């Protein structure tokens, strides 16, 4: 897209917008991890990786996801516990169990569970 060069070194400067990956999942949707046995409800989405370098480097390089994709914050559960997870888009698939998530933070963020997803509480919508 052409832009005016305020310094006057040239009349137009070409600026390519950065590539943006589109989020496949949305807040309130129940998803499952593609590899590990856990599922969760999405409560936030980062358009690209937004965690610490230490967290990222702790992932074995052979399975480390690219940073230039959406990452999702999940209220997650497995057979032993509930916790918060941060997962790349490439590692999530839709959950078709139609079962609710058992996580103590859900009532603070979401209302009803229907058709495989949670409705965000009115006070948390922008």
pLDDT per residue of the chain (126 residues) written in tens, 0 to 9: 455 555 555 556 676 665 667 999 999 999 999 999 999 999 999 999 999 999 999 999 998 999 999 999 999 999 999 999 999 999 999 999 999 999 999 999 999 999 989 999 987 655
DSSP 64: P
Q: Hey, what are 62's tokens?
A: 């052979």
Q: What angle do CA 50, 31, 79 make, to 5 degrees?
A: 100
Sign of the CA dihedral with 49 first, then 107, 100, and 23 last? negative
Query: Dihedral (C-alpha) 83, 29, 115, 91: value to the nearest 10 degrees?
Result: -80
**Tell me: domain 25-124, CATH 2.30.30.390, correct?**
yes
Q: Which residues contact 6 (CB under 8 A, 6 or more apart)?
A: none
Read off the pTM.
Answer: 0.81
Q: Which residue has the tokens 């936030």?
A: 44
| Residues β-bridged to residue 10 | none
């Amino acid at each position: 897209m052409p832009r005016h060069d305020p310094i006057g070194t040239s009349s137009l400067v070409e600026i390519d917008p950065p590539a943006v990956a589109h989020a496949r999942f949305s807040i309130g949707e129940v998803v499952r991890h593609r590899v590990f046995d856990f599922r969760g409800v999405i409560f936030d989405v980062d358009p690209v990786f937004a965690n610490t370098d230490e967290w990222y480097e702790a992932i074995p390089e052979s399975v480390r996801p690219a940073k230039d994709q959406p990452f999702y914050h999940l209220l997650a559960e497995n057979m032993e516990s509930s916790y918060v997870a941060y997962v790349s888009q490439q590692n999530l698939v839709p959950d078709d169990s139609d079962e609710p998530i058992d996580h103590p933070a859900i009532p603070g963020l979401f209302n009803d569970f229907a058709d495989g997803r949670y409705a965000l509480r009115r006070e948390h919508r922008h």
